[in-house]
Amino acid sequence: MKKRLLATVLAGAMVLSMAACGSSNANKTESAAASETANASTEAGAESGETQAAAQDGDASSELNIYMWQQYISDDLIKNFETENNCKVNLSYMSDNADAINKLTAGGGDEYDLIMTCDAYMKSLIAGGYVEELNLDNIPNSSNINDTYWVSKGYCVPYLMNYIYVVYDSETCPVEIHSYNDLLQSGLKISTIDGARNLFPIALVALGYDPNSTNESEIAEAYEWLQKFNENVVAYGNAEQNLTNGTANVAVTYDGNASWAMKEKNTIKVADFTSDPIQLGIDLFVMPKGAKHVDLAEKFLNYICTPEVMAKNLEEFPYSCPNDAAVAAASDDYKNDPARDFSYKENVFFQEDVGDTLTIYNDYYQKLKVGE
Amino acid sequence: MNNKKKKNMLPVLAMAGPVSVWMILFVTIPMLYIIYISFMSRGVFGDVVYKFSTESYKTILNPTYFKVILKSLKAAGITTILCLLLGYPLAYIIAHKPKDTAAKLITLIMIPFWTNSLMRLNSWLLLFQTSGPINNFLVGTGFVKEPITFIYTDGLVLIGLITNMLPFAVLPLYSTIEKLDKSLIEASADLGASAATTFMRVTLPITFPGIFSAIILVFIPSLGIYTVTDMLGGGKILYIGNIIKNQFGSIRNWPLGAALSVMLIVITMLLIFIYTRFAKIEDMEVV
Amino acid sequence: MSKIAKKRKRLNIISNVYAFLVYALLYIPVAVMMVFSFNDQKYNYYWNGFTTQWYAKLFTNSTLVDSLIYSLIIAVLSTLISVFIGTIGALGLKRYEFKMKKFIDNMLYIPIIVPEIVLAVALLIIFLKVGVSMGIGTILIGHCTFCIPYAIVTIKGRISGDNETLEEASMDLGANRVQTLLRVTLPNIFPGVMSAAFLSFTMSFDDVVMSNMLAGAKQSTLPVLILSMNKTGVTPDVNALATIMILIIVAAMILNNIIQGALHKRVK
């Protein structure tokens, strides 16, 4: 019996050591893959091959691991940073805000040096001790960032930001939209952003309540409002696609996404809101607790805060930006973008931590999606 | 005696050992942990607080979840039935081709699955969207005046589910039909049975193990799938898979997600148990 | 007699048309995907004109190609591991009686039953508790965990009683266990092993849930990269890459047929 137990333990150890070999082999196979592409392609490839070789030397600061949204940062920007600092930047991408929060809170966040999240989570992330305090003296260019958009200064560096507003196709949309309540009119086909904490504030504002309400009866009312709203919704997500191909005639979406849709179809306009405030979300970088390449991460943050660098990035990704100097240095195309040509930019609210009330939001959100 | 026993242990350990260890390490232990978490509570920030609570199981009693389960069972059921109806004749046709042709035809079924499933789902959207080729054709030829809304409907979700699941029905069906002793069918025909009678009385009962595994391999995964509904349902259609995924994702209620998973496992086990009263699980085969 | 022949012919035509239609259903999305690899638009939203620029872009966009290579490495490795453990495991579970057998048999059904996300989350928590660092190793464990059960179910179906008699004969003739396994048992169950490999590769290569949960910071698999494009839309260079892949597979199959055909002729 004892022997059998021993054998089982031994076999277990074998499997585990196999797994360990697997993970230590990862670097090898990757660099092999990297050098393969380096050989196959031109200058850019050769460059990454070089940096890869440098990364293999084991110098801690020759490598930077970033977790963020896909299609949100210019490849050229990354390449320039790699050349300037003789390092390798490993980008991996999330498909949901929750992915980043899971990485930060479930553990294993220290495998990354920078993780992108948004302002709404900052308070809890700091309270939970999941993020490192930043030394802003090492990030001098961060002074370009407008303090209005900088929540939890000292723990994060804002990157780009998103107004969640209403755009419509002036050709096919049957009604004028001046407020959230106008979205309940018949004949609308809405493509809207998803998520409990994006949808409920809209309803709460429409009903005249605090968008970050913690009052259950108000949330219940908001749920009823959203049920009516839901009847007009054709899809959650995919706003640009649905607007440009005619599936939807109204969209509740981010200004950056609207910008692209407007370039494809010039009949798309920003709704002229009279008094309802709109949500502003700020995507920012935090340094997870235990990040290993702090110096390089600081250098990277400083780099993206450089006005000229960010200005170039904005050409490729025309989102709103909290970096005033960068916006000033941006191209005319960016400055005259119709997607950001609306008068109520100051009339915004931020998503705040609602604590335990989140469970109530989620219950109603699920009820909304399941339908009665 | 003792010596003999020792001798016999080695091959067992060498052959069944790795799989046993793997299953215990990477299935049993993680699943026990899931059960454990389902009895914990949710922290303010969506983390798991290790304090005993039956809150999650109380939440499940909410009729909302009951409705979702019913909806999911229905969708998975329809998918399974349609996959069987589509797949059985196809498997039958393939099985009656010459051996090397059959092998090629089976490979042809698998090839689409070597492209990314998300890309294939996206193709359905591109094809059926309002200004897509199908609608353009229908409007252009005057069949309809206004483009039809195909996308983000239950129908398109069903097409996505069927095209994703069909191979899992065809493969086991093919393997049992292929093994079928053709002399039995001839004997039945010789004895004067009509083709329909032969099929109902001979072919169908003998290929039942294949049908059984087809049902298991299609029904159960389509019960938990969420990418198809997410992409083709436009976020308006939720099945139990989506709800569970949301608990581990955007909603961040891991104990509830764990409890829902436990419930899903129990329901599936129950269905399989009832099902195995009619068919022996040992008969389950693939390819 | 000719009436029956006619009837049989008609039935044959009907069944071929039917098979064609079902195959069409499976191949329509692939065809659309290939067509849209030539779409002149930043993201694939609707048809906007013809271009070949995405194929050119593939040569400069190493992220996509890297992730494809990474996915292939993972798929091949997890196929090898799953088929190895699956083959000996299927033989062990079918041939021998031992205490845990019933339990292990039941465990094999768990990865088939539970939604992948549940097992992925459970594995993630366990890995974090033990302190394993995420990367190719953790992804491989995840993939093998759902590939092994399918492999075993597949291979078990091929093990029949005949094999056992042959094996006994082999042992009687003086071959040892390993020789018997390699020379007698394995060739006998080879078709099953091949289908297991087929299934494992397909499932691993297309997996997104496990890979997303258990990935490390350094590299993403192709499906995870595609999933992360859902905020903006899938760029047509992904279609271009998938098209090239399909063409390579089809070319390899045709080549294989030609070679086999030639070999066949020579034998004749």
The radius of gyration computed from the CA coordinates of chain C, to the nearest angstrom, equals 23
Strand pairing report for A190-192 and A233-236? parallel
Instruction: State the amino acid at position B222 in one-letter form.
Output: S
Token couple for A109:
């966040």
Residue entry with tokens 């780009």: A160
Residue entry with tokens 């047929």: C257
Contact at CB, A11 and B21, closer than 8 angstroms:
yes
Chain A contact for B46 (CB, 8 A cutoff): yes
Q: How close A205 comes to chain B (CA, Å)?
A: 22
CB C112 within 8 A of CB C149: yes
For residue C237, report the phi and psi dihedrals to the nearest 5 degrees: -65, -25
Supply the CATH classification number for the domain A60-160+282-332.
Answer: 3.40.190.10
Q: Which helix (H) or strand (E) holds C144?
A: helix C136-156
Contact at CB, C33 and B110, closer than 8 angstroms:
no
Interface of A with B in 294-353 (CB under 8 A): none
pLDDT given for residue C160 in this prediction: 62
Domain spans in chain C, listed from the N-terminal domain onward: 65-267
pLDDT digits (tens, 9 = 90+) for A34-48: 443 334 333 343 444
CA distance A20 to C237: 35
Closest CB to C242 among B11, B104, B115: B115
What's the mean pLDDT when you consider all of chain B?
83
Closest CB to C65 among A37, A69, A260: A37
CA distance A139 to B208: 69
Q: How close B188 comes to chain A (CA, Å)?
A: 52
CA distance C170 to B225: 47
CA distance A353 to B224: 31
> Across-strand partners of A168?
A250, A269
CB C127 within 8 A of CB C134: yes
The maximal CA–CA distance of chain A, rounded, in angstroms, is 80
CA distance A366 to B245: 12
Q: Can you tell me whether residue C233 is helix, strand or coil? A: coil
Report chain B residues whose CB lies below 8 A from the CB of A237: 234-235
Closest CB to C212 among A29, A95, A264: A95
Token couple for C72:
């292939």
pTM recorded for the entire structure: 0.82
Confidence of residue A232 (pLDDT cuts 50, 70, 90): very high
Q: How close B237 comes to chain C (CA, Å)?
A: 17
User: Counting runs of H as helices and runs of E as strands, what totals does chain C give?
Assistant: 13, 0
Closest CB to A370 among B47, B68, B250: B68
Instruction: State the amino acid at position C120 in one-letter form.
Output: A
Contact at CB, A244 and C46, closer than 8 angstroms:
yes
Q: Domain B63-283 classified CATH 3.90.1150.10?
A: no
Token couple for B5:
């026993």
pLDDT digits (tens, 9 = 90+) for C18-41: 999 999 999 999 999 999 999 998
How many residues are recorded in chain A? 372
For A197-204, the CB contacts below 8 A with 24+ separation are A197/A120, A197/A351, A197/A354, A197/A358, A197/A361, A198/A164, A198/A279, A198/A351, A199/A226, A199/A365, A199/A368, A200/A226, A200/A361, A200/A364, A200/A365, A201/A279, A201/A349, A201/A351, A202/A226, A202/A229, A202/A252, A202/A279, A203/A229
So what's the architecture of C65-267 in CATH?
A: Orthogonal Bundle (1.10)
CA distance B188 to B207: 16
CA distance B137 to B142: 8
Highest mean pLDDT (candidates B91-100, B278-287, C150-159): B91-100
Neighbour-count burial of B140, counting CB atoms closer than 10 A to its CB (0-12 exposed, 13-18 middle, 19+ buried): exposed
Model confidence at B9: pLDDT above 90:
no
Chain B contact for C15 (CB, 8 A cutoff): yes
CB B125 within 8 A of CB C30: no
Query: Count of CB atoms within 10 A of residue B30's CB?
Result: 22
Report chain B residues whose CB lies below 8 A from the CB of A128: 45, 47
pLDDT given for residue C267 in this prediction: 61
Q: How close A41 comes to chain B (CA, Å)?
A: 24
Model confidence at A11: pLDDT above 80:
no
Which DSSP symbol is given to A72?
-
CA distance B29 to A12: 13
Closest CB to C195 among B15, B223, B287: B287
Which DSSP symbol is given to C132?
P
Contact at CB, C117 and B227, closer than 8 angstroms:
no
Residue B69's contacts (CB-CB under 8 Å, 6 or more residues apart) are B240, B263, B267
CA distances from B112 to A361, B83, B121, B233, C183 (A): 41, 17, 12, 22, 35
Mean pLDDT of B87-102: 89
Domain spans in chain A, listed from the N-terminal domain onward: 60-160+282-332, 162-280+335-370
CA distance A287 to C42: 32
Side-chain-facing half-sphere of C97: CA atoms under 13 Å: 1
Q: Can you tell me whether residue A94 is helix, strand or coil? A: strand
pLDDT given for residue A117 in this prediction: 94
CA distance C157 to B285: 5
Model confidence at B279: pLDDT above 70:
no
CA distance C190 to B241: 36
So what's the architecture of A162-280+335-370 in CATH?
A: 3-Layer(aba) Sandwich (3.40)
What's the mean pLDDT when you consider all of chain C?
85
Mean pLDDT of B192-199: 80
Mean pLDDT of C254-258: 82
Mean pLDDT of A350-364: 86
Query: Count of CB atoms within 10 A of residue A6's CB?
Result: 10
Which of A145, A99, A138 is closest to A121 using CA atoms?
A99
Which of B261, B226, B248 is closest to B65 using CA atoms?
B261
CB B240 within 8 A of CB B223: yes
CA distances from B152 to A257, A261, B135, B234, B236 (A): 20, 20, 15, 5, 8
Which DSSP symbol is given to A133?
P
pLDDT digits (tens, 9 = 90+) for C157-199: 777 655 677 777 777 887 777 777 777 778 777 777 887 888 8
pLDDT given for residue A48 in this prediction: 42
pLDDT given for residue A35 in this prediction: 40
Residue entry with tokens 């190493």: C62
Chain B contact for A98 (CB, 8 A cutoff): yes
CA distance A221 to A200: 10
CA torsion sign for C192, C195, C199, C204 is positive
Report chain B residues whose CB lies below 8 A from the CB of A252: none
Q: How close B81 comes to chain A (CA, Å)?
A: 24
Contact at CB, C33 and B31, closer than 8 angstroms:
no
CA distances from C173 to A223, B14, C184, C188 (A): 78, 23, 12, 18
How many residues are recorded in chain B? 287
Which DSSP symbol is given to C183?
I
Domain spans in chain B, listed from the N-terminal domain onward: 63-283
Mean pLDDT of B116-141: 89
Contact at CB, B121 and C29, closer than 8 angstroms:
yes
What's the mean pLDDT when you consider all of chain A?
83
Q: Helix B117-128 vs helix C2-35: angle between axes, to the nearest 10 degrees?
A: 90
Which DSSP symbol is given to A283?
E
pLDDT: which is higher, A1 or B187: B187
pLDDT given for residue C5 in this prediction: 83
CA distances from A314 to A308, A337, B275 (A): 10, 11, 59
Q: How close C74 comes to chain A (CA, Å)?
A: 10
Which of B243, B205, B247, B194 is closest to B223 using CA atoms?
B243
